[in-house]
Amino acid sequence: MDPISINLDLPIDSYSINISHGWQHLESAIKSYVGNKVMLVTDENVKELFVHDITSIISSMGCEVSLAVVPPGEASKSLKIAEALYTQALNAMLDRSSSIVALGGGVVGDLAGFVASTYMRGINFLQIPTTLLAQVDSSVGGKVAVNHPLAKNIIGSFYQPKSVYININTLDSLPQRQFSTGMAELIKYGFIWDKDFLGWLENNIDRLIKKEKNALAYAIDRCCRIKAEIVGQDEKEKGLRAILNFGHTIGHGLESISSYCLYTHGEAVALGMVYESLIALQKGLVDQSLVDLLINLLKAANLPTKITEIDVESLIQAMAHDKKNKSGSIVFILPIEYGKVDIFNDVEEELIYNVFQ
């Protein structure tokens, strides 16, 4: 395929999202931003797969590369791991003309971006996402963060990358569970923004699960364009951008009460979308057919759609710490029709309890 370039237009920090098969266009996408020294942040799994290629390309550009490897998994999104990365950056003598490159999934991107946003009050940051979840969602838009034991992503900032480079071929090495976790975010875009894309997903979900390259290229391109359009209108989540959190109010709560160990992020979001859609159904905002479509797509993507046992009281307490909340009210993003959602802060606790019965 020819490389695809999508512009994310912002008042100050506009940048391009580059989609390709392979690494042959990586140098042109990042050469203006890497500086003289680069800290390449990755995890132990990705290190074995792609670090050699990326290090060779960056080194060939005359850059000194320092490799920082963190444990895989959500537990690495912590202040303790961030502090270790600050120490490594200092030991590598990174300065304000240097850069931090994130090579990996959403955890690596969020963590590396948070460190880049705060090291010396901010140095250049580049994203090379290698998971489906990161490619369609977390690498685009500039949300960077680490977790607190009481709440996910509560310590963070808005800090845009200078460039995003997506190599679709990296998905070939992705374990099925991790691929499915990205499918949750991909499916989300159809429900929040694009009824036509939702129809396309109905007809092509099997092609995506088989990792057909043309289908993946189309879906990743569409998701990135939707997110670029939304973020371009509301970079700092003052209003519209909140709709990207469909499924995340309950999803983040589930991750928190299970200590980030039971579900992947996408699995938690999938469950969140189902139960938030059930809330919408009880409120009379949608009919059963929308809920059924969502459940069928998630099942086709090998994602969970039902929770058998849950302490709803603990979940509500966890959701009370959500960063979207306003004036003590839990904020939900609920579907109101096919391809459209809205923001609600008036959901009664009784409704929340009811959907988990």
Check whether residue 292 and residue 325 sit in a common domain: yes
CATH code at position 232: 1.20.1090.10
Residue-level pLDDT at 320? 87
**Phi then psi dihedrals of residue 154, to 5 deg:** -80, -15
The pLDDT, as a whole number, for residue 149 is 85
**3-state secondary structure labels for all residues of the chain:** CCCEEEEECCCCCCEEEEEECCCCCHHHHHCCCCCCEEEEEEEHHHHHHHHHHHHHHHHHCCCEEEEEEECCCHHHCCHHHHHHHHHHHHHCCCCCCCEEEEEECHHHHHHHHHHHHHHHHCCEEEEEECCHHHHHHHCCCCEEEEEECCEEEEEEEECCCCEEEEEHHHHHHCCHHHHHHHHHHHHHHHHHCCHHHHHHHHHHHHHHHCCCHHHHHHHHHHHHHHHHHHHHHCCCCCCHHHHHHCCHHHHHHHHHHCCCCCCCHHHHHHHHHHHHHHHHHHCCCCCHHHHHHHHHHHHHCCCCCCCCCCCHHHHHHHHCCCCCCECCECCEEEEEECCEEEEECCCCHHHHHHHCC
Same domain assignment for residues 45 and 180: no
The CATH number of residue 156's host domain is 3.40.50.1970
- Both 124 and 244 in one domain: the answer is no
In the chain, the number of structural domains is 2
Identify whether residues 184 and 297 lie together within a single domain: yes
Among 109, 143, 173, residue at a domain's last position: 173
Predicted pLDDT of residue 322: 73
The verdict on pTM exceeding 0.85 is: yes
Residues 288, 182 within the same domain: yes
Answer with the one of 146, 173, 200 that is the final residue of a domain: 173
Q: What is the pLDDT of residues 158-195, one digit of tens each?
A: 999 999 999 999 999 999 999 999 999 999 999 999 99
Q: Do 185 and 134 belong together in one domain? A: no
200 and 223 share a domain? yes
pLDDT reported for residue 327: 60
Dihedral (C-alpha) 295, 307, 183, 190: value to the nearest 10 degrees? Answer: 40
Residues 156 and 62 in one domain: yes
Instruction: Give the mean pLDDT per block of 10 residues along the chain (357 residues).
Output: 90 96 96 96 97 97 97 94 98 98 97 98 98 97 93 92 98 95 97 97 97 96 97 94 96 91 94 98 97 98 92 90 75 97 92 90
Q: What is the pLDDT of residue 167?
A: 98
Residue range(s) defining the domain that contains residue 351 = 176-355
Question: pLDDT for 36-54, tens place per residue?
Answer: 999 999 999 999 999 999 9
Do 240 and 273 share a domain, yes or no? yes
pLDDT of residue 172: 96
Give the active site residues: 121, 143, 185, 227, 237, 241, 245, 248, 252, 265
How far apart CA 156 and CA 145 sit, in angstroms, is: 4
Is residue 151 domain-shared with residue 284, that is, in the same domain?
Answer: no
Same domain, 186 and 159: no
Domain boundary among 173, 201, 225: 173
Q: Are residues 167 and 188 in the same domain?
A: no
